[in-house]
Amino acid sequence: MPAEIKRTGMLLIISGPSGTGKGTLVKKLTDLDPSFRFSCSVTTRGPREGEIEGVHYYFVTEERYDELVAQNAFLEHATVHGHRYGTLRQPVEELMEQGYNVVLDIDPQGAISVMENASEYVSVFILPPSFDELRVRLHTRNTDDPVEIERRLNNARGEVQKLNRYQYAVINDNLELAFAQLQAIVNAEKQRTCRFHPTIFDT
């Protein structure tokens, strides 16, 4: 980037039902595009096998979560599938001030809350190719028990109703195609004039 062009980071909201492939797409994006940083959420849910503190989530007690709510530490927070999840405000703001793009993987309640309060954001809803395929993916992922999977599938129907609150939608059928579509959205959004602060003519 030329030294005389400063950029403001983008707040990218990736949302949609559980099992649609949000995490898979977000990981590909952050692995391949060094301008992106993942916003690591706080949750009261217990860690799944392989999940790492501070990488996948900050795992906290109900009491600690309540403290963070009381301190207004969350940009948004919501109860999702019976557990509590929140996006920490400070790291998101700091990263964006440093010029990074920040990606949030959050549920539709949290996404709509951010959309109602943030002045600038890019929102993408990830759709599964079908309800049956969503069920298959949740079972294949093998991270949740059958009761939890049914709960997530039931919630998916209501979540998809919120689709038109978002700016973009991507159907994650073929992963490579879905990722190419996400990259196309992101690449266009990076070029919005609001992100550029040319200081070249400053005296």
Which residues would be at the binding site for ligand ADP (CB under 6 A)?
18-24, 137, 140-141, 172, 175, 178
Q: Does 21 bind ligand 5GP (CB under 6 A)?
A: no
Closer CB to ligand ADP, 5 or 32, in the complex: 32
CA distance 88 to 69: 10
**Cβ at position 199, least distance to ligand 5GP in Å:** 35
Q: Does 18 bind ligand 5GP (CB under 6 A)?
A: yes
- The SS3 assignment for 146 reads helix
- The SS3 assignment for 44 reads coil
Whether 106 contacts 87, CB under 8 Å? yes
Q: Does 45 bind ligand 5GP (CB under 6 A)?
A: yes
Closer CB to ligand 5GP, 34 or 46, in the complex: 46
Query: Whose CA is closest to 81, among 172, 145, 1?
Result: 145
**Cβ at position 125, least distance to ligand 5GP in Å:** 11
CA distance 126 to 16: 5
DSSP 48: P
> Which does residue 78 bind out of ligand 5GP, ligand ADP, none, counting CB within 5 to 8 angstroms by kind?
ligand 5GP
- HSE-up (13 A, CA, CB side) for residue 138: 22
Helix 131-141 / helix 146-160 crossing angle, nearest 10 deg: 140
Give, as ranges, the residues between 85 and 114 that touch ligand 5GP (CB under 6 A).
Answer: 85-87, 105-107, 109-110
Q: How many CB atoms lie within 10 A of CB 154?
A: 10
Which residue's Cβ has the minimum distance to ligand 5GP?
Answer: 110
Whether 36 contacts 100, CB under 8 Å? yes
**Cβ at position 197, least distance to ligand 5GP in Å:** 29
Give, as ranges, the residues between 144 and 203 that touch ligand 5GP (CB under 6 A).
Answer: none
Closer CB to ligand ADP, 24 or 181, in the complex: 24
Interface ranges with ligand 5GP (CB under 6 A): 18, 22, 41, 45, 76, 78, 80-81, 85-87, 105-107, 109-110
